[in-house]
Amino acid sequence: MVWYALLVAAVAAERLAELAVARRNLRWSLARGARVTGDGHYPAMVALHTGLLAACLVEAAHRPFVPALGWPMLALAVAAQGLRWWCIAALGHRWSTRVVVIPGLAPVTRGPYRWLRHPNYAAVAVEGIALPLVHTAWVTALAFTVLNAALMAVRIRCEEAALSCSTS
């Protein structure tokens, strides 16, 4: 269980790094006339992602590590992190944890955005299943997946609306 707690702590550190990048990028975007929209769902998103990490630790304390499940899920969790940072690199200064639109800029179509409209959300979905299942925390995986699907329905509608306004 100690190694799993270290894994969850590493993911938490990664999230803090994301927030630092997002803050820097938000300043860059605002200096170029960006507008932030749809902040109403942001606190729920923060709570859900924080809750995922906490729930992983709580549930895993009562679950065994099953190598046949744990190792493949660890590989998926690591792959999800790789996809997330590929998204961040592809968006460059335009990446943020908030919905930020710089008027006049076309949507990014490089990197994973060549194939998926919202690849970062695919990474979140995979991670939300894989990270808990590394240590058989199936209740956490299920609860996060259901709640994240509802949240992403709101978030993606918000992003699409913001993007359609910026390109019209």
Per-residue pLDDT tens over the stretch 49-68: 999 999 999 999 999 999 99
Tell me the Cα Rg of the chain: 17
**Domain of 145: which CATH number?**
1.20.120.1630
Q: How confident is the model at residue 103 (pLDDT cuts 50, 70, 90)?
A: confident
Say which residue, 38 or 109, is predicted with more confidence: 109
pLDDT value for 109: 92
Domain housing 14: 2-167
Distance CA 108, CA 105 (A): 9
Q: Residue 24: its pLDDT value, please?
A: 97
Nearest to 124 by CA among 109, 99, 145, 104: 145
Q: What is the mean pLDDT of the chain?
A: 94
Residue 168 reports pLDDT greater than 60: no
Decide: 136 and 66 in contact? Cβ < 8 Å. yes
Number of domains in the chain: 1
Indicate the helix (H) or strand (E) that contains 36. Answer: strand 35-37
Residue type, 105: L
